[in-house]
Amino acid sequence: MSELSAAFVRLHARLAPVAFVPEVRLHQADEPIGLWELTEGEFRSSQPPPFWAFAWAGGQALARHVTDHPEVVAGRRVLDLASGSGLVAIAAARAGATAVRAVEVDERAVAAVALNAEANGVRVDAELGDVLDADAGDAEVVLAGDVFYSEAMARRMLRFLLRAARSGARVLVGDPDRAFLPRERFHALATYDVPVSEALESVRVKRTTVWELDPNPPGTRRRGQ
């Protein structure tokens, strides 16, 4: 973890409970628009937007689901993709996962994951890198919150998740009805009304679903059916 990145996280985000998962505390920005502009959130530079500073709806729903259903991850190796703040990874670690790997392309997000895991008294291996053209390694469960926010990201993410599922991993995603979620590849497990930042989402509550990926082509029978 870069000390400079860790200092940035501490300076611009305050440790506080997550609205929909109050069992977990995260470093969160009080004023999202100012921080977004500070880090050039309109992609005017190579620095990614500060996704790590907010508890997004998909991640909150997925973390709530894992917290309420620890059997999903207990005793298993977990990979959290595009981890952001580390909320989902931390929820998995708290729920009894044997190992949790959180992957991010933003160095500040990696620092935030490490700081947040420490604040919650759990171990999460935060990793900097883009793994979407590789595989899920030894992960038995793959989790991804709010990752279908752009067409390009959705295509790459789906290919990765399908490889993971076809290798035997259970794949769950949290999504608040983003435009690029390929719904025909998933079946719903649970739906939640998640409180969110009105400044970011233009609403105060987002209806959000936890989905499980079906590795079979659309229209075919799922395994065990």
Q: What percent of the chain has pLDDT over 70?
A: 89
Q: Contact, 53 vs 34, CB < 8 A?
A: no
Nearest to 43 by CA among 153, 131, 142: 153
pTM: 0.91
pLDDT tier at 32, thresholds 50, 70, 90 = low
**CA geometry: angle at 30 spanning 15 and 86, to 5°?**
45
Among the residue ranges 12-21, 85-94, 99-108, 195-204, the one predicted with the least confidence is 195-204
Q: Contact, 28 vs 50, CB < 8 A?
A: no
Res 49: pLDDT: 75
How does DSSP classify residue 54? S
Res 48: pLDDT: 65
pLDDT at 168 > cutoff 70: yes
Res 196: pLDDT: 93
Res 217: pLDDT: 76
The answer as to whether 219 is a domain residue is no
Q: In whole numbers, what is the pLDDT of the chain averaged over residues? A: 91
Coil vs helix vs strand at 3: helix
The answer as to whether 160 is a domain residue is yes
pLDDT at 212 > cutoff 80: yes
pLDDT tens readout for residues 38-67:
665 444 445 567 889 999 999 999 999 999
pLDDT at 114 > cutoff 80: yes
Pairing outcome for strands 205-213 and 170-175: antiparallel
pLDDT tens readout for residues 104-113:
999 999 999 9
pLDDT at 220 > cutoff 80: no
Please spell the DSSP secondary structure of 83-150, one letter per residue: -TTSHHHHHHHHTT-SEEEEEES-HHHHHHHHHHHHHTT---EEEES--TTS--TT-SEEEEES--SS
The answer as to whether 50 is a domain residue is yes
**Higher per-residue confidence, 57 vs 224:** 57
The answer as to whether 120 is a domain residue is yes
Q: Contact, 138 vs 167, CB < 8 A?
A: no
pLDDT at 23 > cutoff 90: yes
- The count of structural domains within the chain is 1
**Higher per-residue confidence, 76 vs 200:** 76
Write the CA distances from 120 to 15, 19, 103, 128, integer angstroms. 10, 15, 18, 21
The answer as to whether 49 is a domain residue is yes
For range 121-144, the mean pLDDT: 97
The answer as to whether 44 is a domain residue is yes
CATH number at residue 100: 3.40.50.150
pLDDT tier at 223, thresholds 50, 70, 90 = very low
pLDDT at 145 > cutoff 90: yes
**Which domain does 105 fall in, by range?**
3-213
pLDDT tens readout for residues 196-211:
988 888 899 999 999 9
The answer as to whether 222 is a domain residue is no
Nearest to 200 by CA among 40, 33, 28: 33
The answer as to whether 140 is a domain residue is yes
